[in-house]
Structure 1
Amino acid sequence: MSSSVFDSFLYRDMFSTADMREVFSDTAFVRRMTDTETALARAQAKVGIVPHEAAQRITDRVRPADLDLTRLRADTENVGYPVLPLVTQLAEQCGEAGGYLHWGATTQDIMDTATMLQCRDGLDLIASAVDRVRAALRRLAAEHIDTVTAGRTHLQHALPVTFGFRAAVWVSALDRHAERLVQARERDLMVQFGGAAGTLASLGPGPDALAVRAALASELGLRDPEITWHVARDGLNEIVALLAAIGGSLGKIAWDVSMMCSSEFGEVAEPFVTGRGASSTMPQKRNPISSELIVAAAKLLRDRASSMLDAMMQDFERATGPWHLEWVTVPEAFQLAASALHQAEFMLTGLEVDIDRMRANTALTGGLIVAEAVMMAVAPVLGRQRAHEVVYEACRDAIEQGQDLATALRRHPGLVAELGHTRIDELCDPANYLGSAHAMTRDVVNSHSRD
């Protein structure tokens, strides 16, 4: 029986992916806690705290697949945490060597480290998905580098841009997120080993305790932090905040696409799949389902980031409640981000672009979209303010009389004298007023060579 969209047989592939569900499954978490316990035994053997024979036996005999999961669940509910029940069963598997399991560690050491191992696997999936979405966007930007479309501000025509430029703006944010993912992995994926209050007092005051932590980090491929981070949760907060930011950037793309899919715009359409986006009553409907799911995920990710900020406020050397927020928030954030990226990859890889409709929409205002071009052309002679007033009057005339801008401009003798009919026509062609859109788009398209 399922109780949320993340495990629902109806919705789970709309709000998560199979690979990410596996990374944050109960079995994966138990396996990662077991990995941490066995790695700790080996690390302590290297330092000389645990006998090598015991560490080897622990490594050889521990079998996560042989755990009694029903017993583990019941004991976890009773204890409040899964580590003590887990260690009890693992020790039973290891015989006498089991007495060296969990030596000097505390519950949070094991759970935090296991979570970091899950986050590492999750970030691998996220980074790969981000790269695939970036590749799809670069293809769109390159293909439509000269496809003129209406640039819109406040949902109104502003100046002409190209669809390639718009796609390049989209991918530029994901390029920066890709850099942040690399930085977050290096900075935030830390081993946790501090003991009861974070001081490692159980291993004595000498250098052995810190040597164990370093060896444990090496065993697991995590960063060895300078100090225990039991109640310094900035690392996990940064990871979830980054997932939320990626979701926000994808949500911006999805919002643009969904609006361009509207009947009034008709400039793009999500990939056609029979029945996808269909209405139960309106046969003509082709709803932008992927965009809708991405926007929903982005909004949910914002809430997960907010929860992680709450979880940062922890009391003294062990939190009284905030830690538990992470148990819910971290897995859900990764699943939502994975879902948004999956939907974005599907949507952008097969996005249908109607070039003719984009050009027709650009012409809807009869050339008013390039009024700035005319103003800037005569500003050196009339001065910017006077040029603005003259062109403003021409725009008003065009609107009131139902004419295009070029016709209205020709009715102003001063403009005709200054510019001439041919130059007015050139200025009123949106394709001639794209500024550095082509150059900036090309720079973004080619920037993948620096990845």
Structure 2
Amino acid sequence: MMGSTVFDSFLFRDAFGTAAMREVFSDSGFVERIVRAEVALAGAEATVGVIPRPAAMLIAERADATRLDHDRLRRDTENVGYPILPVVTQLVEQCGDAGRYIHWGATTQDIMDTATVLQCADGLDLISASLDRVRTALRRMAAEHIDTVAAGRTHLQQAVPITFGYRVAVWLSALDRHAERLLEVRARDLMVQFGGAAGTLASLGGGTEGTAIRAALADELGLRDPEITWHVARDGLVAIVGLLASIGGSIGKIALDISIMCADEFGEVAEPFVPGRGASSTMPQKRNPISSELMIAAAKLLRDKSAAMLDAMMQDFERATGPWQVEWAALPEAFLLLSSSLHQADFVLSGLQVDTARMRSNLELSHGLIVAEAVMMALAPMLGRHEAHHAVYEACRRAIDAGTDLAGELQRHAEIAARLGTDKIEALCDPTGYLGSARRMTQAVLDRDVTTPASWNAPSSGSARRPAREDAASR
């Protein structure tokens, strides 16, 4: 079957997703997690004593997602509107007499939400690993170029000197914070869902059995046990997709900087060379920054996915009429988009070609104007800041009008020359002498270690991670 969107297109799917992430959010991946949730529910209910242990063991032995009839599932899902009843029907058939205990006390949304959260957990594993690779590449680049002087730019004009390592460290600092947010979102938002018809677990009586089952189910699947059913409180999934969009935005910012620096007029960096990559059909000289363009496109599309999830938060009463289905489209696509963006970023940043000589020559384009602030601040204690600004502004204006360099105009300015002297003016006009705390701040980012806390561990079943059972405030 031919694809109809960039996500399933044989032409574009690897530009807007990765094979690993497509597997997590594939139909078969979703159905497998539905079955996993149903088996885990039976096990949890047996642990609490609600269903017989032999029945739960038989369900675990016989429930097999690979033996489900997919064509039948598709037809029944189209008719019912949800896939859970069709899956449960076939699981009951697989499990014989024990099948009567499948889906005990649960509702459709319990299992679908739990399966979705399991997908999110596995998707976040892939995102975290990709983000770590990108951060490693940036950390290496920032360290290598910690003293590489370059033009700092504001409003696309040269402002003051910086180092390229500083620019990279700014990129890295945002991604380091995102790594921390990924840890937080795991602990808070990867929640099991089990509430029954309207969330009250009434079908399991008024005692403690219902919440005990929910706790055992959460433990079995490596998910958080929430205090209350979240059928219509969708903030957890919204937070996850919002974070994906935010990471995508930070990657998009890096891509925008790189794509501009790749322009012939800048020429300071180039994406890794691969024969034919980024080529034009008519202009043989072209080497377009195609990976950066894909990262920027992903950032823009991720914003829409986050907006859709926010819109879907407005759900009526105890079970919504429509917003839930919005998540089915927005959430998988958000994971796919960010997986692609991080993949492209890893490719670019691991092999980015940096032209340090061009960076240095670009500093000379302004004929010294880039250090005008340095001169002004040196004069300020003598003339006052306002007067110093006015004097240097006049020197800059003359340099621009005459096409001369700032140092020469400063020498010709009687008061400035008298106050500073030739040697001081020459020193102030050296861009390497006006870098402020760029090196110190870059090193501070490099010294910061964002790693997984020791309290995090992988559960014995499933691939989701969970925090150790301790109060969040103690972490």
TM-score range, shorter-chain basis?
over 0.9
Instruction: Map 1:409-424 onto structure 2 (within 5 A).
Output: 409-424=410-425
Q: 2:207 matched to which residue of 1?
A: 206
> Which amino acid in the other structure matches residue 21 of structure 1?
R
Q: So what's the TM-score if we normalise by structure 2? A: 0.94
> How far apart in 2 are the matches of 1:54 and 1:83?
20
Provide the C-alpha distance between the structure 2 equivalents of 1:449 and 1:157, rounded to a whole number of angstroms: 33
Partners of 2:96 and 2:389 lie apart in 1 by 87
Report SS of the residue matched to 1:157. strand
Matched residue, 1:388 = 389
Q: Matches of 2:384 and 2:403 in 1, distance apart?
A: 28
Structure 2: state its 5+ residue gaps: 453-475
Local SS of the residue matching 1:140: helix
Q: Which amino acid aligns with 1:168?
A: A
Partner of 2:250: 249
Give 1:426 shift: 0.6
Distance 1:445 1:415 in 2: 40
The separation in 2 between residues aligned to 1:344 and 1:90, in whole angstroms, is 42
- The answer for the alignment partner of 1:218 in structure 2 is 219
Structure-to-structure mapping, 1:307-346, within 5 angstroms: 307-346=308-347
Shift of 1:445: 1.3
Q: State the partner residue of 1:145.
A: 146
Partner of 1:33: 34
Alignment partners' CA distance in 2, 1:122 and 1:99: 33
Distance in 2 (CA, whole Å) between partners of 1:365 and 1:352 is 24
Give the aligned partner of residue 48 of structure 1. 49
Contact residue 180 and residue 450 of structure 2 kept, 8 A: no
Using a 3 Å threshold, how does the CA distance of structure 1 residues 45 and 449 change in structure 2: closer, same or farther?
closer
Q: Residues of 2 paired with 1:57 and 1:396: CA distance?
A: 85
3-state SS of paired residue (2:153): strand
**Residue 344 of structure 1: CA displacement?**
0.3
- Deviation string 1:357-394 (CA, Å, 9 cap, x unpaired) is 11111110100000000000011010000000100010
SS at match of 2:266: coil
Is 1:299–2:300 an aligned residue pair?
yes
SS in 2 for 1:161: strand
For residues 45 and 139 of structure 1, what CA distance do their matches in structure 2 show? Answer: 52
CA distances 1:402-442 after superposition (whole Å, capped 9, x unpaired): 11000000001211111111110110011100000010001
Structure 2 match to 1:6: 7
Paired with 2:401 and 2:422, the residues of 1 have a C-alpha distance of 22
Within 5 A, what are the aligned runs for 1:150-189? Answer: 150-189=151-190
SS of the residue corresponding to residue 449 of structure 2 reads: helix
User: Displacement of 1:450 after TM fit?
Assistant: 6.4
Query: In the TM superposition, what are the counterparts of 1:70-85 in structure 2 within 5 Å?
Result: 70-85=71-86
Classify the secondary structure of the residue corresponding to 2:150. Answer: strand
Q: In structure 1, what is the Cα distance between the partners aligned to 2:431 and 2:120? A: 48
Q: Is the 8 A contact 2:179 2:450 kept in 1?
A: no
Q: Distance in 2 between matches of 1:140 and 1:437?
A: 15
Q: Distance in 2 between matches of 1:243 and 1:423?
A: 50
Q: Decide whether the 8 Å contact of 2:42 with 2:56 is kept in 1.
A: yes
Aligned residues: 451
Q: For 1:337-358, what per-residue CA distance to the aligned partner results, in whole angstroms no more than 9, with x for missing partners?
A: 0000000000011000111111
Q: d(CA) in 2 for partners of 1:450 and 1:295? A: 27
Q: How high is the sequence identity, in percent, across the aligned residues?
A: 69
What is the rounded CA distance, in whole Å, between the counterparts of 2:291 and 2:449 in structure 1? 26
User: One-letter code of the match for 1:94?
Assistant: C
| C-alpha displacement of 1:449 | 7.0
Amino acid at match of 1:191: V
Matched to 2:301, the amino acid is: L
Letter in 1 for 2:196: G
Task: Confirm whether residue 369 of structure 1 aligns to residue 370 of structure 2.
Answer: yes
Counterpart of 2:229? 228
